[in-house]
């Protein structure tokens, strides 16, 4: 993994345990942890907005968001103008999200995949590069 990247990470209570394990997995990378800091009930928009803002401002290179289904965090993050948050539950989806959609936040469904698969997805997401070309034309049409 590229050690020069800064990764913003956030999770609600359903993703807390995954986040804690991913922090250890990403220990050789610069990581900004936006919470939650326990498994007590928490509102996913609080963490999704914080991660999205960090990526949108350029403070972080990419983001990782984790909740039970990944839907709530993805919907919230995608409200930000320059964010392209992708729900990924397979390695191939993570690669396509980056290469075709220039996604800048990966959303992990903690209640539906294993932590080992989450690590594989995140590795693929961070190591894949946007292809540009015809994909850039399409990505440029996303914002209203």
One digit per residue, pLDDT tens: the chain, 144 residues? 667 899 999 999 999 999 999 999 999 999 999 999 999 999 999 999 999 999 999 999 999 999 999 999 999 999 999 999 999 999 999 999 999 999 999 999 999 999 999 999 999 999 999 977 889 888 888 876
Look up 13 and say whether it is catalytic.
Answer: no
Rounded (10°) angle between helices 115-127 and 16-25:
50
Return the beta strands (E) in the chain as ranges: 6-11, 30-33, 62-67, 85-87, 105-109
> Quick one: pLDDT at residue 129?
94
pLDDT score, position 87: 98
Task: Quote the pLDDT of residue 1.
Answer: 64
Q: Report the candidate in 119, 54, 43 with the shortest Cα–Cα distance to residue 83.
A: 54
User: By C-alpha distance, which of 95, 100, 94, 118 is closest to 108?
Assistant: 118
Q: Pick the catalytic residue: 49, 67, 80, 107? A: 67
CB contact set of 66 (below 8 Å; sequence gap of 6+): 9, 10, 11, 12, 14, 15, 18, 19, 22, 73, 107, 108, 110, 118
Residue for token digits 């936040």?
Answer: 105
Sign of CA dihedral 78, 84, 90, 93: positive
Q: How many CB atoms lie within 10 A of CB 26?
A: 20
Among all chains, which residue has been given the structure tokens 């983001």? 63
Collect all residues with Cβ–Cβ distance below 8 Å to 24 and sequence separation of at least 6.
Answer: none
Residue tagged active-site, from 49, 80, 88, 100: 100
Looking at domain 6-139, which CATH architecture does it have?
3-Layer(aba) Sandwich (3.40)
């Amino acid at each position: 993994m590229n050690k020069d990247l800064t990764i913003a990470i956030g999770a609600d209570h359903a993703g807390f345990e995954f986040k804690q394990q991913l922090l250890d997995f990403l220990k050789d990378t610069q990581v900004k942890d936006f919470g939650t800091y326990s498994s007590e009930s928490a509102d996913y928009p609080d963490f999704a907005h914080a991660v999205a803002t960090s990526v949108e401002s350029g403070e972080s290179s990419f983001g990782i968001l984790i909740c039970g289904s990944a839907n709530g965090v993805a919907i919230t993050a995608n409200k930000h103008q320059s964010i392209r948050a992708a729900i990924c539950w397979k390695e191939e989806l993570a690669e396509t999200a980056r290469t075709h959609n220039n996604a800048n936040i990966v959303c992990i469904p903690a209640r539906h995949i294993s932590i080992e698969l989450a690590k594989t997805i995140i590795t693929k997401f961070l190591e894949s590069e946007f292809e540009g070309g015809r994909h850039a034309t399409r990505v440029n049409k996303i914002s209203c």
